Amino acid sequence: SAEHPEIVARLEALLAALGRQPSCSDIPVVLLCRTSSRADCMRHSLHRLDNVTVLERPTTMQTLVSSVQAALRARSRQYQLRDQLQALRNSETALRARERELKTLTENTPDILSRFDRQFRHIFVNRAAADLTGIATETFIGRINRELGMPEDLVDLWE
């Protein structure tokens, strides 16, 4: 406002700096405002910041220390969450790489690979199984070997 242009300028500089932070960053801010300038502080900060504490001056040391400690705890939790999310992203990337490796292995091996459920229904077969039997991989899924016309002695061995 016209009454306190230096306060407004400082707040604008602070808000600009905070605006350059990544969207996931929620930097806690503790603003000390004189009682006479509280309206300006509120107008320029509260509606543009998500994590702000406005304290009127004069304030007690205990109130100031408590507010700063709460802000630091909140920021620490943000860093913990950021690190956990990054670890999760790294795990997902590694898992996808392992899945690609496994798929490449299963699809390119000359050996028949099949996975069954508890009732001996096929839930996965690789290309080698289809190539050797002449049965499409989709036809295997959900069926037992007997339904696929496999030889009885082979079916008995599996079962």
pLDDT of residue 8: 76
Rg value, the chain, Cα: 32
pLDDT of residue 61: 94
pLDDT of residue 7: 74
pLDDT of residue 29: 82
Ranges of the chain with pLDDT below 70: 1-3, 36-47
pLDDT of residue 100: 97
pLDDT of residue 117: 94
pLDDT of residue 147: 93
Torsion on CA atoms 93, 97, 102, 103, rounded to nearest 10: 100
pLDDT of residue 38: 58
- 121 three-state secondary structure: coil
Q: How many CB atoms lie within 10 A of CB 32?
A: 14
